[in-house]
Chains A and B, each alone.
Chain A
């Protein structure tokens, strides 16, 4: 039995870094969220204003609409990524020539920086001169205009996110699927279960932990997406793609509204933690009870 002291020593560097670069800034932001501070206001100093920022937030239609589109974005993006990622992971379990090659190709989007992904998709979807609108127009006569159509811009951001992040889901699920034992499946087959039943009652529960970890990561990353969307649409047209990350960015960088931006961030952080916790409860807790 190794002593626990060694364990703490091993853990210490991580805790120290996360404390100084994670917790301390968080405390500062929390403190700031109860203050009014805009360095270009008539009074550029930091002034305590109680819960005013949070009160204003509830009536801020910009924030609320941003919250709405963000939830829609996260829902569509993460769900599509899970479904497509799962199907591709299943397909990778089969044997076929050039498997390693295809898998390499499939991981390529993962290595690209978000800002570059945003640029590529902007270049591909600029109305009339991007390749995608141009092809859609000449093949189907469909006018894809991310500068005027809210639906088009929203869809393109979702497709872009799916293109960028599905490989991550695929890779994690391959790992989970490969490590599944065969017995339960055989038993189920003997008992006459059909494919759908096997998926819902055996595969899904068994890969749930891996799935959950993936959903966690994707959920929290999608909730704070900034660079790609800012690059692609700037949050437009109108506020159709002004996701929370973009909203906060615009509050904090151009508007230098630090106090209010901090309050929004705190709320977003809180919402993220709560939604992750809800997911945890929904997916894991009922099964605990059953067991």
Chain B
């Protein structure tokens, strides 16, 4: 009891200290400009809604109070679940209620929002209101990820807030263990190193699953984001696995009347897509048993708990897996690599024809229905200031400004993380965000029931993909995109 009491008191003290240190660390240049700019918005409250992620929580907990301190504008950020966030934002913009002055736009929904003219053109708005333009803000500062949020005429419709790639994480402690290396060599005749092809990856995965079983460890050879009732599994297949087999943009050809089936010119049920699915299912079978109930969060936690030797993990989780002792058992034991590929895919990615994995992230957009657009413009620029980025990057493993790569904290984490940030900077161009479709969740929901049936085995992968391609086309016809 006494121990517990002491523990809780020290924990409280710790939390307060960390909270305090964050706020103090940020020094804003040219703070008079912000004070002056904020004066005319006295008493204004800005409301935002975002998904509850480490990066968003940093906005709500640190940046918003700091901004209020600076300008006197109150900023309330709601952090909620992914589904709820979309529902709230879309209802507000659709009904033109004007509750929110900032909405989180995940990269894959921007095209839907743009097609409905939900968002303010920030470039244009700042050009027209020169007195609102902060001297330190510049669109030049952003990384290439910003291109995802440009609309017609190159105008910017969202301030990038987080950005990450889905990488191949592996356990350096296992891969570098001489005994393990010897056992692997004996079994396969190869040296144990991160895989570059699907065959190698499968070999390593099988080896570690057997190794875990033989040594009575809770260890499996791969992760799998294979929930049988949540679209996370759909995303993993179409955005992380299929591209590595050369099936891009979900196998839907937008330029060809949104065809999905092979007979109409799509690739959703192409032989490559079927091979990719079978490979992924075989990996799912040797992944930890909880994988059939895993979304992105559980995959990260499974890896952090040391239950997988390698796997594809969203980069937003990479930093805490590699550094946070409270959440992770594999601190300092994590390496990153590019995802395993089929031959020829890398060449396509380098030429810009294809891509090797998922570049995800999001931005804050300003709804046209907002009643405080001018004040919101100030906060948008504030989030893009170089001086607020360093701690934000450390807290949320996100980088949206090129200058952030060279800050001390990021370089330090980069080392612990086996070069994740360097990879983001140097190889980021090989990854791609979701395809430019305004109908993401509609197609996903139309095809995912079949996909779940494939996962449970009640439909075979080949005929399952055939059915999905047909359903996708039917839904697109229904929505009016496919003629």
Across the interface, name the chain A residue whose C-beta is closest to B446.
A255
User: Closest residue of chain A to B478, judged by CB?
Assistant: A41
- A114 close to chain B: CB less than 8 A: no
Contact with A along B428-469 (1 / 0, CB 8 A): 000000000011011011100100110111100000000000
Residue among A122, A147, A233 with the highest chain B CB neighbour number at 10 A: A147
Residues of A close to B229: CB separation below 8 A: 233-238, 241-242
- Assess whether B293 is in contact with A40, with CB atoms less than 8 Å apart: no
Asked whether B216 is an interface residue with its Cβ less than 8 Å from the other chain, the reply is no
CB atoms of B289 and A150 under 8 A apart: no
B479 in contact with A238 (CB, 8 Å): no
Question: A145 — which chain B residues lie within 8 A by C-beta?
Answer: 289, 292
Instruction: Say if the beta carbon of B406 comes within 8 Å of chain A.
Output: no
How many Å from the CB of B443 to the closest CB on chain A?
Answer: 9
Contact residues, A245-265 vs B (CB, 8 A): 250-251, 253-257
Chain A residues with CB below 8 A from B289, complex form: 127-129, 145, 147
**A155 proximal to B (CB < 8 A):** no
Chain A residues lying within 8 Å of B171, measured Cβ to Cβ, are none
The count of A-to-B residue pairs whose CB atoms sit within 8 angstroms is 106
Smallest CB gap from A258: residue in B: B94
- Contact call B94/A39, Cβ cutoff below 8 A: yes
Q: Is the Cβ of B456 less than 8 Å from the Cβ of A150?
A: yes
The reply to whether A39 and B116 contact each other, CB–CB distance below 8 Å, is yes
Q: Which of B275-307 contact A (CB under 8 A)?
A: 288-293
Complex: how many Å from CA A256 to CA B419? 40
Nearest-CB distance from B177 to chain A (Å)?
24
**With contact pairs A39-B90, A39-B116, A127-B290 given, residues A147 and B228 touching in the complex (Cβ less than 8 Å):** yes
Report B209-237 CB contacts with A as 1/0, cut-off 8 Å.
00000000000000000011111000000
The number of chain B residues touching the other chain, given as a range, is 35 or more
Residues in B whose Cβ lies below 8 Å from that of A147: 227-228, 289-293
* Interface of chain A, main secondary structure: loop
The answer to whether A146 has its CB under 8 Å from any CB of chain B is: yes
What CA separation (Å) do A39 and B289 show in the bound complex?
A: 39
CB <8 Å contact, A127 and B449: no
With A236-B227, A239-B449, A254-B231 as contacts: A38 and B292 at CB distance below 8 Å: no
A235 to chain B: which residues have CB within 8 Å? 229
Contact residues of B: prevailing secondary structure: helix
A172 contacts the other chain (Cβ, under 8 Å)? Answer: no
CA distance A39 to B117 in the complex (A): 12
Please count how many residues in chain A sit with their CB below 8 Å of the partner chain's CB atoms: 35
Chain A residue at minimal CB-CB distance from B295: A234
CB distance from B234 to the nearest CB of A (A): 11
Given contacts A234-B230, A241-B229, A257-B442, contact A40 B112 (CB under 8 A): yes
A286 at the B interface (CB under 8 A): no
Interfacial chain A residues near B445, Cβ < 8 Å:
250-251, 254-255
B227–A234 touching, CB < 8 Å = yes
Q: For A146, list chain B residues within 8 Å (CB).
A: 293
Q: Are A237 and B452 interface neighbours, CB within 8 A?
A: yes
User: Across the two chains, which residue of chain B brings its CB closest to A255?
Assistant: B445
Chain A residues lying within 8 Å of B446, measured Cβ to Cβ, are 255
Are A40 and B479 touching (Cβ within 8 A)? yes
CB distance from B142 to the nearest CB of A (A): 27
B480 within 8 A of A: yes
User: Which A residues lie at the B interface, using CB under 8 A?
Assistant: 38-44, 62, 122, 126-129, 145-148, 150, 233-242, 250-251, 253-257
Task: Supply 8 A–B pairs (Cβ within 8 Å), ascending by A.
Answer: A39-B94, A40-B116, A129-B290, A148-B228, A234-B229, A242-B449, A251-B445, A253-B83
Leading 10 A-B pairs by shortest Cβ distance = A236-B229, A147-B292, A234-B229, A42-B480, A128-B289, A237-B228, A236-B228, A255-B445, A127-B289, A41-B479
